[in-house]
Structure formats: structure tokens, C-alpha cells
Amino acid sequence: MGTALITGATSGLGLEFAWQLATARHNLVLVARDAPRLEALAGQLRAAAGVEVEVLPADLADREQVEAVAERLRRIEPHPVGLLVNNAGFGLGTAFRDSEIADQERGLDVMVRAVLVLSHAAVGQMTARGHGAILNVSSIAALTAGGTYSAHKAWVRTFTEGLAAELKDTGVSATVITPGLVRTEFHDRAGIDFDSTPEALWLRPERVVSEALAAVRRGAVIHTPSKRYRVVAGTVRTLPRSAVRAFERVRPDR
């Protein structure tokens, strides 16, 4: 997979992708907004794993800054990016009617538009070389009716499936993961209280990331980390959509 570019590398799943990929001897390009945190991480990764790490601070809600990341994906120096991990994302933590439209647009820009633009840049460079992989982070929420977040994650899943079909036999793969609840900064940042959620429903980032990278290596298109969430996903798929919508109305975090 060569050099990997990871968005949202400062915390949670992105941070874990950085560590697991560096440990597997991949050079890295790290993208997120918090430049000091990215620099500190890059120093730790260089020292611990001996890999090359580029730091590319960017707000993926900003079109010019997304373009700077796309430009890095098109460039093949100092190394071509062989794996793009579209991971950055966040929850708004408010009902649609109570939210600010500017916040909604930021969500769409980071979790949909940036994924679209960065995938396009990566696909051009990778298909020209006949080699590469794109890994997109969706969510089990793609199967539910949890507002615009579910809609964004459903877009990511469907987009990746279409991309995988289009890229068949090009040497470039597209994989999407649909994790359930993972212990990261996500819920605190969104101000969502998940304290009463049973411990058994929480996944560790280490497990989600190792399963995601294994899915990329075997060329899987869709992967739901952990057996328990594969059972959840299989069950939700069998429910009538009216039952899925009814669950949204009684959800404890609403």
C-alpha cells in the first residue's frame, strides 16, 4: 500500500490508523485541523517506527484546504500515496430543526464533499499507476434513520460500492467500513451522552482499525468490524423501514 494519507489523524480511529500503518512500515501523510497535535504525533511516529511522516494541516470544510490535500494526492513526489483513508468526521449532536445550517453544511463538506474530492484525486493518480486502495469510514448509522449523519454515512457506503465496481480490474480497490460504537473523542466532541450505553456495545479503535486494514488487504468492499455488529447490521437489514424510523423516535440520546 506504500504511503498512506489519513484524514482525521489527530484522534480516535485516525490516530490508530496512523500507528498501525506506521508499525507496518508505511510512510504517512497526516491530515486534520489541529497542527500542533499533528506535529507532535508525527514526531512520535518517526521516533518509534522510523517512517517518513508528512504533516498537512487542513480544515476539510474549507474548499481551498481540501484542494491542497487533493493536490498532494495527485503528486507522486516525494512518494505517491498508495492508500487514502477518508476517516475525518464528527457528529452534530443536535436535531436537524435545532441546528445551525452552517454546522450542517460543515458536516456535509467534511463527511461527503471531502470524501468525493479526495477520492477523485486519488483514483486518477492510482489508476495511472495501476495500483492503490481507498478506505472510507462510514458507520452502522448508514443503516438507520439518524438524521443527516446517517444520510452522509449512507452516501459514503453507496459511493464506495459504486467506486469498487467501477475500479474492478484496474489494480485499485475501494473499501468501506461501517463500525458501530467506538471509544474515541467522537461522542464528547458532539456533546452526546452515551454513559448508559452497555459496555458490550463499545468497540476499541485497535480492533476496528486492524479489521479495516485486513479488509483492504483482502480486497473486501464492505466490512462491519466485530461479529456482534455484523449481527446488529444483519438484523437491521431485515426490519421494515417503519420499525427503523420508530427506533429513532424513542432513542435515549434524542
Ligand X SMILES: NC(=O)c1ccc[n+]([C@@H]2O[C@H](COP(=O)([O-])OP(=O)(O)OC[C@H]3O[C@@H](n4cnc5c(N)ncnc54)[C@H](OP(=O)(O)O)[C@@H]3O)[C@@H](O)[C@H]2O)c1
Catalytic residue list: 149
Around 69, how many Cα atoms within 13 Å sit in the side-chain half-sphere?
34
- For the CA atoms of 47, 53, 54, 59, the dihedral, rounded to the nearest 10 degrees, stands at -90
Q: How far apart are CA 132 and CA 3, in angstroms?
A: 10
87 binds ligand X (CB under 6 A): yes
Q: Is 175 in the site for ligand X (CB under 6 A)?
A: no
Tell whether residue 211 is a contact of ligand X (CB under 6 A): no
Is the CB of 32 or the CB of 135 nearer to ligand X? 32
- How many angstroms separate the Cα of 253 from the Cα of each of 160, 202, 249? 29, 16, 10
Q: In the complex, what is the shortest distance from the CB of residue 28 to ligand X, in angstroms, rounded to a whole number?
A: 14
Classify burial at 97, counting beta carbons within 10 Å of its beta carbon; exposed 0-12, middle 13-18, buried 19 or more.
Answer: exposed
Burial of 168-180, coded b for 16+ CB within 10 Å and e otherwise, reads eeeebbbbbbbbb
Nearer to ligand X, 155 or 170 (CB): 155
| The one segment of 26-34, 42-50, 159-167, 242-250 that binds ligand X by CB under 6 A | 26-34
Q: Which one of 17, 19, 159, 186 is in contact with ligand X (CB under 6 A)?
A: 186
Tell me how far apart the alpha carbons of residues 123 and 189 are, in angstroms, rounded to a whole number: 32
Q: Are 209 and 17 in contact (CB under 8 A)?
A: yes
179 binds ligand X (CB under 6 A): yes
**Residue 34 binds ligand X, judged by CB under 6 A:** yes
Half-sphere exposure of 157 (CA within 13 A, CB side): 19
Residue 84 engages ligand X in binding (rule: CB under 6 A) = no
Interface with ligand X includes 71 (CB under 6 A)? no
Chosen residue from 3, 4, 5, 8 binding ligand X by CB under 6 A: 8
Residue of this chain nearest to ligand X (CB atom) = 12
Under the binding rule (CB under 6 A), the answer on residue 93 touching ligand X is: no
Please give the residues from 111 up to 150 whose contact with ligand X meets the rule CB under 6 A: 137, 139
Q: In the β-sheet with 222-223, what is the strand arrangement from edge to edge?
A: 53-57, 28-32, 3-7, 81-86, 132-137, 172-177, 222-223
Selected binder of ligand X within 1, 4, 5, 13 (CB under 6 A): 13
Binding site for ligand X (CB under 6 A): 7-14, 32-34, 37, 59-61, 87-90, 110, 137, 139, 179, 181-182, 184-186, 189
